[in-house]
């Protein structure tokens, strides 16, 4: 993940990793004087439009189907306040605080580009909210992903008026109470400011950042755990040879194959069965490069599109210069909506093949591996029921894979007659990935159990240390116990990325390199 000490809003190139670092307070966001100058000039253009009275959407007209309704100069301020209130119609549980922080980061960066007509004071207040840990409460449902994420963005900015709710330094309070605690006063929104705040794709894009981050974590763990399962079940290393994948050179496939082959290098377990009579492995082992690699390609596609979005202006209308203001559709979420649906499917498939490897481990068809991964069965059920859970999660993911972007319900009395539903794409993708984390935790437990039966043979240095790291939390199971506790430990390890840190540490110390020609594309974001 990209990290930096400082970032210039409106100027620097924003990546998902930098956005997360800004949201987490690890990177300092700044606005340079040239950017402030550009912001002031854009705001002056809006003021000039109001003074001249020439109709421009959202500045001196109503919104949506009311775009032909003229608004007087005296009423423009009321219009902007009203739009925040009327569009705050979100429902459902609040989004995670980090997602709300990301929304703030993305909106600040977009507005700082100087094409939105926002005032200097309003932008400074947004930065204050981010830096002061005064994070607005945003309901998770209500956006159709066109005209921007209107409802969630409206809730995000209600506290500017002293309305809505805020998580302030760990305490849930109202917008009015925030003013009492901090001495702040309501922002008086000028022409177009309310519209600039709520028009945009920041809800979708914030979810896409989280999807990219946690999906990356799953992809990395899937390769490591898959390699451990190959060891445990004495699979072949040949399907990971570059000679094979150079004949079908997808980036993701080649990246995965080389990484898994590197993880298996120096293994006594692999050497022990090099001349065995088995001709080939089941697909869930043999096709790891193709399946994991395809999911990697989907991840890369999302990363590339997301970086375009993060550095774009997505509100409406857009103030190009003093002579040109355009009411267009940069707020439409379709580009990310489709990519998020693709990522959702790709994550689901990662969990699907992981579940198949869990099932494979339980069959007892690999030499030396007992059925259900336990020697004394009958009185013990072994790891049988863990696969029930992975199967349930994999099945749930299949249901969630229906693409939200395939649907569109007209809104705004037909003025907004095609919408992206990208907010649903983002929320759904995160649900699927959370399930995949749990499936991978179950595979981690079963792979480690199979791995144990290969003793006294050892694997390579990396997988040996991964196994030891798990055994610090979860012991070998010789009889039944409450396996839910083991699963929770596995989930915690995957979410906490301790296994990835172990792999990095051993790679650096022992000189084992997991780098590939595609590492910059797949390992940096």
Structure tokens at 319: 């103030």
Going 416 to 421 to 422 to 424, the CA torsion angle's sign is positive
Contact 59, 116 (CB under 8 A): no
Contact 145, 205 (CB under 8 A): no
Catalytic residue among 57, 216, 383, 525: 57
Contact 208, 339 (CB under 8 A): yes
What DSSP character marks residue 75? G
DSSP secondary structure letters along 126-180: HHHHHHTTEEEP-EEE---SSSSSHHHHHHHHGGGGT-SEEEETTEEEEHHHHHH
Give Cβ neighbours of residue 122 (< 8 Å, ≥ 6 apart): 160, 187, 189, 190, 193, 197
Give 306-309 contacts, CB < 8 A, sequence gap 24+.
Answer: 306/16, 306/205, 306/208, 306/209, 306/212, 306/336, 306/339, 307/13, 307/14, 307/15, 307/16, 308/335, 309/201, 309/205, 309/208, 309/335, 309/336
Residue 203 Cα distances to 14, 55, 333, 520, angstroms: 16, 29, 10, 27
What is the spatial distance between Cα 223 and Cα 263, in angstroms, rounded to a whole number? 9
What is the spatial distance between Cα 376 and Cα 28, in angstroms, rounded to a whole number? 57
Active site residue 57: yes
> What number of other Cβ atoms are within 10 A of residue 486's Cβ?
23
Going 6 to 10 to 14 to 16, the CA torsion angle's sign is positive
What is the spatial distance between Cα 395 and Cα 341, in angstroms, rounded to a whole number? 17
What is the spatial distance between Cα 211 and Cα 16, in angstroms, rounded to a whole number? 10
Rg (CA), the chain: 26
What DSSP character marks residue 400? H
Nearest by Cα to 16 from 214, 158, 179: 214
What is the spatial distance between Cα 231 and Cα 241, in angstroms, rounded to a whole number? 16
Contact 142, 156 (CB under 8 A): no
What is the spatial distance between Cα 490 and Cα 221, in angstroms, rounded to a whole number? 11
Catalytic residues: 57
């Amino acid at each position: 993940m990209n990290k930096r000490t400082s970032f210039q809003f409106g100027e620097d190139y924003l990546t998902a990793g930098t956005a997360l670092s800004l949201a987490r307070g690890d990177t300092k966001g700044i606005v340079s004087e040239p950017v402030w100058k550009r912001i002031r000039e854009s705001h002056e253009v809006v003021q000039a439009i109001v003074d001249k009275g020439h109709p421009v959407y959202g500045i001196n007209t109503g919104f949506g189907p009311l775009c032909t309704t003229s608004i007087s100069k005296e009423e423009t301020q009321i219009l902007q306040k009203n739009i925040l209130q009327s569009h705050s119609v979100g429902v459902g549980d609040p989004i995670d605080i980090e997602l709300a922080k990301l929304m703030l980061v993305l909106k600040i960066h977009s507005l700082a580009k100087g094409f939105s007509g926002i005032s200097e004071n309003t932008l400074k207040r947004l930065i204050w909210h981010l830096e002061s840990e005064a994070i607005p409460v945003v309901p998770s449902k209500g956006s159709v992903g066109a005209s921007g994420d209107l409802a969630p963005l409206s809730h995000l900015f209600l506290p500017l008026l002293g309305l809505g709710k805020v998580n302030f330094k760990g305490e849930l309070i109202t917008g009015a109470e925030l003013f009492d605690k901090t001495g702040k006063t309501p922002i008086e929104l000028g022409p177009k400011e309310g519209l600039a705040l709520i028009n945009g794709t920041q809800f979708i894009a914030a979810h896409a950042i989280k999807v990219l981050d946690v999906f990356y974590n799953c992809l990395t763990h899937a390769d490591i755990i898959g390699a451990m399962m190959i060891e445990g079940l004495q699979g072949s290393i040949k399907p990971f040879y570059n000679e094979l994948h150079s004949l079908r050179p997808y980036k993701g496939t080649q990246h995965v194959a080389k990484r898994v082959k590197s993880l298996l290098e120096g293994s006594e377990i692999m050497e022990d069965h090099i001349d065995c009579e088995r001709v080939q492995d089941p697909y869930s082992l043999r096709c790891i490069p193709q399946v994991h690699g395809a999911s990697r390609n989907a991840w890369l596609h999302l990363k590339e599109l997301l970086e375009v979005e993060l550095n774009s202006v997505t509100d409406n209308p857009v103030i190009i210069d003093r002579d040109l203001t355009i009411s267009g559709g940069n707020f439409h979420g379709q580009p990310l909506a489709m990519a998020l649906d693709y990522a959702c499917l790709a994550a689901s498939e990662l969990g699907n093949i992981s579940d198949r490897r869990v099932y494979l481990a339980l069959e007892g068809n690999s030499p030396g591996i007992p059925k259900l991964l336990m020697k004394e069965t009958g009185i013990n059920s072994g790891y049988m029921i863990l696969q029930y859970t992975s199967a349930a999660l994999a099945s749930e993911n299949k249901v969630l894979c229906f693409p939200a972007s395939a649907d569109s319900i007209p809104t705004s009395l037909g003025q907004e007659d095609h919408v992206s539903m990208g907010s649903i794409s983002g929320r759904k993708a995160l649900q699927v990935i959370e399930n995949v984390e749990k499936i991978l935790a179950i595979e981690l437990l079963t792979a480690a159990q199979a791995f144990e039966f290969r003793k006294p043979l050892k694997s390579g240095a990396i997988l040996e240390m991964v196994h030891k790291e798990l055994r610090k939390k979860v012991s070998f199971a010789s009889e039944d116990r409450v396996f839910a506790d083991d699963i929770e430990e596995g989930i915690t390890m995957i979410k906490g990325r301790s296994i990835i840190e172990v792999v990095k540490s051993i790679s650096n110390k022992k000189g084992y390199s997991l780098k590939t020609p595609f590492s910059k594309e797949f390992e940096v974001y």
